[in-house]
């Protein structure tokens, strides 16, 4: 079978949707190699494709001249010319007219955060997302939701038939499950300038991730250090000002551009990952932390118990005192940290490449009416 993918994000985004897209291509090519996989993108790919995946760009002069338009309105015809039988939109979108070509379709919807928190998005962006996401979800033969929370949002907000939605959880790169080389963690800690004990935050430093709550809790934790890893937005400046006002600026470290090997070292060295996000479609840093053996403190409700499991600690994302109390206990209770590590590792065993491959194949078979 010839299976096509919308691979724009896989080769132009280094986080989030890009990570998901790269993982799907890698997993399907490695674990389900009996098909021809075609990865479509409007521009030359920056990253090397996994073995068994072929790159495809616009096949006409007009498509190459207006590649962004091609991805929306010209790709459908090319799928037919390439003999694609099933097309998977990996990042919330499907090309226009694909449902008229005979090509069966699957689309992954990651979240509807812009519907839940519209104030966090410029109005024009929100309207574009609403049109793209709803259109793709309504036209696809099967919708893949990355969590039960996203499935519930699709049913509630877009009135989708639950029978058309398959939940296929995300995972994380296999490197996070592998034991670091001897001395790797210590060397990374020295180079990055992190102390023996610290709290870790991972993710884009934006308002929804709620790093400010952790800084407020830090004010009541004398001597504790917070290391925040992620791309900075304007909100990072607000967090830095907050830390200064609370007198903890010298205990908040911002790191960006951290590679996978160093991130693995930070997870394995930290006292806990602190992730009090207001809302997520899933939350890959939660799984990365769990498989690395890091205790997790995250948000009560929403998707978070799906991703972090029963062994993690949960707090109100608007209550810095509750977070402070939980962290104060963890920082002095090594036994509790060890119990959380063990329970987290056991829970995260479900987020495997094989589980993802099996779930996606099930979605593809349903789209092709093979089940």
Pair 299, 158 in one domain = no
CA–CA dist 192, 225 (Å, integer): 14
Instruction: Return the pLDDT at 48.
Output: 76
Pair 203, 321 in one domain = yes
Pair 75, 201 in one domain = no
Partners of 108 in the β-ladder: 144
Residues 6+ apart with CB under 8 A from 214: 199, 201, 226, 274, 276, 323
Residues 6+ apart with CB under 8 A from 110: 17, 20, 91, 92, 146, 150, 281, 282
Pair 333, 275 in one domain = yes
Helix or strand run (H / E) with residue 210 = none
Pair 322, 264 in one domain = yes
Q: How many domains does the chain have?
A: 2
What SS3 class is residue 199?
Answer: strand
CA gyration radius, the chain: 21
Pair 27, 162 in one domain = yes
What is the CB neighbour count within 10 angstroms for residue 334?
10
Q: What is the average pLDDT score of the chain?
A: 94
Pair 158, 202 in one domain = no
Angstrom distances, CA of residue 304 to CA of 35, 246, 277, 278, 328 = 35, 29, 9, 10, 21
Note the pLDDT tens digit of each residue in 52-95: 999 999 999 888 888 889 999 899 999 999 999 999 999 999 99
Q: Model's pTM, two decimal places?
A: 0.93
Instruction: Return the pLDDT at 46.
Output: 65
DSSP class of 49: P
Q: How confident is the model at residue 238 (pLDDT cuts 50, 70, 90)?
A: very high
CATH code for position 206? 3.40.50.2000
Pair 137, 211 in one domain = no
Note the pLDDT tens digit of each residue in 121-158: 999 999 999 999 999 999 999 999 999 999 999 999 99
- Residue 45 in this model has a pLDDT that exceeds 90: no
Pair 164, 234 in one domain = no
Domain range for 262 = 174-348
Pair 282, 296 in one domain = yes
Instruction: Return the pLDDT at 210.
Output: 97
Note the pLDDT tens digit of each residue in 352-371: 999 999 999 999 999 999 87
Instruction: Return the pLDDT at 19.
Output: 85
Q: What mean pLDDT do residues 212-230 have?
A: 97
Angstrom distances, CA of residue 283 to CA of 102, 298, 302 = 35, 10, 11
CA–CA dist 211, 46 (Å, integer): 31
- Residue 235 in this model has a pLDDT that exceeds 70: yes
> Pick the residue with more confidence: 41 or 45?
41
- Residue 214 in this model has a pLDDT that exceeds 90: yes
Pair 143, 220 in one domain = no
Whether 298 contacts 316, CB under 8 Å: no
Q: What mean pLDDT do residues 196-215 have?
A: 96
Q: What percent of the chain has pLDDT over 90?
A: 87
Pair 120, 52 in one domain = yes
- Spatial CA neighbour of 227 closest among 202, 208, 206, 244: 202
Note the pLDDT tens digit of each residue in 251-305: 999 999 899 999 999 999 999 999 999 999 999 999 999 999 999 999 999 999 9
Instruction: Return the pLDDT at 147.
Output: 97
């Amino acid at each position: 079978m010839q299976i096509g993918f919308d691979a724009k994000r896989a080769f132009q985004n280094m986080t989030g949707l890009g990570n998901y897209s790269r993982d799907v291509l890698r997993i399907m090519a490695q674990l389900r190699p009996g098909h021809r996989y075609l990865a479509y993108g409007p521009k030359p790919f920056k990253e090397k494709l996994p073995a068994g995946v072929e790159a495809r760009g616009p096949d006409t002069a007009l498509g190459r001249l207006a590649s962004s338009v091609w991805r929306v309105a010209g790709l459908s015809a090319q799928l037919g010319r390439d003999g694609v039988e099933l097309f998977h939109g990996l990042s919330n979108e499907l090309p226009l007219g694909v449902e008229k070509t005979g090509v069966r379709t699957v689309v992954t919807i990651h979240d509807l955060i812009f519907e839940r928190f519209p104030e966090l998005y410029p109005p024009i962006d929100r309207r574009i997302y609403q049109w793209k996401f709803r259109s793709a979800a309504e036209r696809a033969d099967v919708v893949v939701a990355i969590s039960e929370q996203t499935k519930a949002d699709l049913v509630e907000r877009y009135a989708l038939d639950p029978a058309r939605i398959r939940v296929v959880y995300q995972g994380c790169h296999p490197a996070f499950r592998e034991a670091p080389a001897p001395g790797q963690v210590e060397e990374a800690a020295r180079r990055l300038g992190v102390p023996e004990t610290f709290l870790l935050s991972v993710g884009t430093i934006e308002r929804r991730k709620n790093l400010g709550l952790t800084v407020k809790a830090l004010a009541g934790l004398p001597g504790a250090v917070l290391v925040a890893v992620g791309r900075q937005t304007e909100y990072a400046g607000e967090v830095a000002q907050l830390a200064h006002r609370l007198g903890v600026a010298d205990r908040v470290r911002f790191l960006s551009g951290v590679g996978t090997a160093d991130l693995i070292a930070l997870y394995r060295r930290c006292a806990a990952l602190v992730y009090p996000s207001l809302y997520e479609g899933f939350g890959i840093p939660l799984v990365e932390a769990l498989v690395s053996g890091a205790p997790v403190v995250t948000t009560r409700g929403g998707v978070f118990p799906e991703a972090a499991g029963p062994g993690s600690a949960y707090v109100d994302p608007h209550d810095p005192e509750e977070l402070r109390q939980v962290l104060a206990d963890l920082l002095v209770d090594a036994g509790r940290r060890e119990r959380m590590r063990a329970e987290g590792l056991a829970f995260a065993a479900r987020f495997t490449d094989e589980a993802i491959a099996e779930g996606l194949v099930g979605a593809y078979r349903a789209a092709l009416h093979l089940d």
